[in-house]
Amino acid sequence: MMADRVCNVRIAGLGGMGILKSSQLLASVLFQSGYDVKKAEVHGMSQRGGSVASDIRFGKEVLSPMIPNGEADYLLVLAEDELVLYPDALRPGGILIGPSIFAKTPLPNKKSLNVAMLGALSHYLDIPIEIWTANIRAGFPEKLQAVNFEAFNTGRNAVK
Amino acid sequence: MAERKLMSGNEAVAQGALDAGCARGAGYPGTPSTEILENFDAIGGQAEWAPNEKVAAEVALGVAFAGAGALVTMKHVGLNVASDVLFTAAYSGVSGALVFAVADDPGLASSQNEQDTRRIGIAAGVPVIEPADAQEAYDFTMLAFSLSARWRIPVILRLTTRVCHTASIVAPADAKVVPVPARFVRDIPGRVMIPGHARIKHRELRAKLNEIREWCELEGPNKIIQGSSTGIVSAGVAYLHAREAAPQASFLKLGMTHPLPMRLILSFLKEKSAGFVIEENDPCLVEQIRAAGGDVPWNPDQYRMGELNVDRVRRMLARDPAPEAALPKGKPPRLCAGCPHGYVFEIFKKHDLIVAGDIGCYTLAALPPLSAMDSQICMGASIGVGLGLRHVLPETEARRVVSVIGDSTFMHSGLTGIAEMVYNPPATGHVVVVLDNLTTAMTGQQEHPATGRRLNHSPATRILIEDVVKALHVPNVLVFDPVRQASELEAELLKALQSNQLTVLIARQPCLLAAG
């Protein structure tokens, strides 16, 4: 599916959930995998608990930084309530990833939900695991690495 | 070759300025422009927060008078404050280079209006360059510095939210500009804008603009993509939306939107069976192209409001005037739980005060459940507006009027309001409450002259707001901790409202976000 067509990922949730952090990690992973990448988000109010969404688009050549309606391939929603904001976001056959994937395999640390969701996404993307690993290592201070690796793996296994 | 990097537009502007040999960057924080100077500092540039955009532009102009390169950054409304500098710096010109990086906010993600900076570029008579993504943000920043140096004119780099805050791949230039050392060369007729000098400089400015227009026609940062007989003229991020919405169409992508290469535009349109203009914000391009005889239709008026995207551009190209579905409303931001500002607004609400407000996080107090702010217009307006209300309202209402302003906003534009209050006091007196959380919280905790730290958080002389207002002869000045002394603050506020005195109450408690 990642031939010439642009692939679209939207990560959505509330300020303080680490949306911007996870979208930054994802964009970096995609860049290092050789794709053209654009990552668009609106800053400013995000620390005050408001709705936050980040669009990450990748492929051979990305034009607009924002995902057109009905063209998202993956919609990662970190707060279930926020789903109502994106009723037409996914394309037919697009994949919704929400916190309910952790109903059976609970997360060790709720603060790492953002990275756990990336783990779930990684199951669907054709990207070598080493690139994910290197970016998580580079993206967090040493003391937070173990918990984030665990979250990533929990997410990756939850959707298998 | 320099290493390719994933950069936001703001990071790319900072890198472009550094690689263009910029000697100093100055600005005032404002979404979506704030990270430009923070990044410029982080990569080794000399960067400062000035008290406001006008002062920042003056500092930058001084740098450019000394023959060095200067960057000044602000959001669109900041250019209103700095426009007094811009309009006459366009006449004087510069010896080094002076670039105004100005970030517009179409759709008002975090602003009080959605004005279009291109209008100011046209009015002031300075070139306006518009990048579409981070690579262009980098390249066009370099270009802005070189144009400014070549024609000795300030140049506006017009950014928008989606350029500032979109990360994409940037290949930096291999060749960096080596800055020339600053030195003073006297030029009294060129820099002292008395009428006799300015009349001459105005002619010079118009001559420069004609030369720049010719340059833009022949070798400007414009590109043509040949496709179908539908021709689309576009600029900035709107061009990227349009390419995606109409992949078969022909495009004229303008990198400079003032002065316009009108011969190029008209010859591009002439060969096409249908012409369109896709632009974000005001119909600046449509107006100018139609005035020059170009056959392009007006876009339905609704598309000048809000941010464009691929879906909206598809509707514009279909000339769809149907009302657009309202976007689903997200959860609005709110004051943080336990925010010190909240305690003050609870008091205002309890006593049903008439609150002349200002710009900052605390503007969120205008929304439910507090609903405790009655006006918010521009930086510093709380004081003047509060005084105006006091002057004419019946006494019982006048006594309920209070002005509320944050610490950074106070340093930006509150001082002259206090001077007005002391100079022309209302008969009932007045009360100004300064919400001092020791940071510029709204934009992400930047320093300002009353924090005692510079942009890079190194120590600076701290200006104490209570000392300043006392020096301006405000008779009644008190400082409270709004969390621990809420009842004392309330009592003092009620007493002050009943007196005919001028009072400044400072509610000081660090921002929760700064505390971590």
User: Is there a contact between B145 and B139 (Cβ–Cβ < 8 Å)?
Assistant: no
Question: Residue for token digits 């979109």?
Answer: B166
User: Is there a contact between B356 and B386 (Cβ–Cβ < 8 Å)?
Assistant: yes
Closest CA to B46 of B69, B78, B12, B79: B69
Nearest-angstrom CA–CA distance, A72 and A7: 7
Contacts A–B by Cβ distance under 8 A: 103
* pLDDT score of A45: 56
B278: β partners: B234
Eight-class DSSP state of B1: -
Residue A37: list chain B partners with CB under 8 A. Answer: 6, 167-169
Tokens representing B172 are 């930096």
Nearest-angstrom CA–CA distance, B31 and B38: 13
* pLDDT score of B516: 57
Report in angstroms the alpha-carbon separations of A40 from A11, A24, A60, B234, B245.
11, 10, 17, 20, 18
* pLDDT score of A43: 59
Mean pLDDT of chain A: 92
Nearest residue in B to A41, CA atom: B165
pTM above 0.95, yes or no: yes
Closest CA to B179 of B13, B17, B20: B20
Q: How many CB atoms lie within 10 A of CB A104?
A: 7
User: Which 171-210 residues of chain B touch chain A by CB within 8 A?
Assistant: none
User: Is there a contact between B24 and B63 (Cβ–Cβ < 8 Å)?
Assistant: yes
Tokens representing B318 are 């279909």
Nearest-angstrom CA–CA distance, A39 and B489: 46
Tokens representing A142 are 């040493």
Q: Which of B32, B310, B334 sits opposite A64 (nearest CB)?
A: B310
CB contact under 8 A, B241 and A27: no
Residue A48: list chain B partners with CB under 8 A. Answer: 333-336, 361, 364
Strand order, beta sheet including A36-41? A90-97, A72-77, A7-14, A51-59, A36-41, B166-170, B5-8
Suggest the residue from B75, B169, B370 to mutate for an interface test with chain A (most A CBs closer than 10 A). Answer: B169
Q: Which of B161, B166, B310 sits opposite A39 (nearest CB)?
A: B166
Q: B128 in helix, strand or coil? A: strand
- CB contact, 8 Å: A36 with chain B? yes
pLDDT (tens digit per residue) in B361-389: 999 999 999 999 999 999 999 999 999 99
User: Roughly what angle, to the nearest 10 degrees, separates helices B262-270 and B284-291?
Assistant: 80
Closest CA to B312 of B280, B336, B342, B290: B280
* pLDDT score of A1: 44
* pLDDT score of B330: 80
Question: Residue for token digits 């990086």?
Answer: B101
pLDDT (tens digit per residue) in A49-59: 788 899 999 99
Which residue type does B335 have?
A: L
B73-98 burial: b if 16+ Cβ within 10 Å, else e: bbbbbbbbbbbebbeebbbbbbbbbb
Tokens representing B441 are 């919280």
- CB contact, 8 Å: A100 with chain B? no
Nearest-angstrom CA–CA distance, A154 and A152: 5
Q: B403 in helix, strand or coil? A: strand
- CB contact, 8 Å: B413 with chain A? no
Residues of chain B with pLDDT under 70: 1, 515-516
User: Roughly what angle, to the nearest 10 degrees, separates helices B415-423 and B381-392?
Assistant: 20
* pLDDT score of A3: 54
Query: What single string gives the DSSP state of each residue in chain A?
Result: --SSSPEEEEEEEETTS-HHHHHHHHHHHHHHTT-EEEEEE--SSGGGT-EEEEEEEEES---SSSPPTT-EEEEEESSGGGGGG-TT-EEEEEEEE-GGGGSSS--S-GGGHHHHHHHHHHHHS---HHHHHHHHHHHS-HHHHHHHHHHHHHHHHHT-
Closest CA to B350 of B371, B374, B334: B371
Q: Provide ipTM, 2 decimals.
A: 0.94
Opening angle at CA B9, ends B107 and B221, nearest 5: 95
Closest CA to B276 of B234, B315, B241: B234
Within 8 A by CB and 6+ apart from B498, the residues are B399
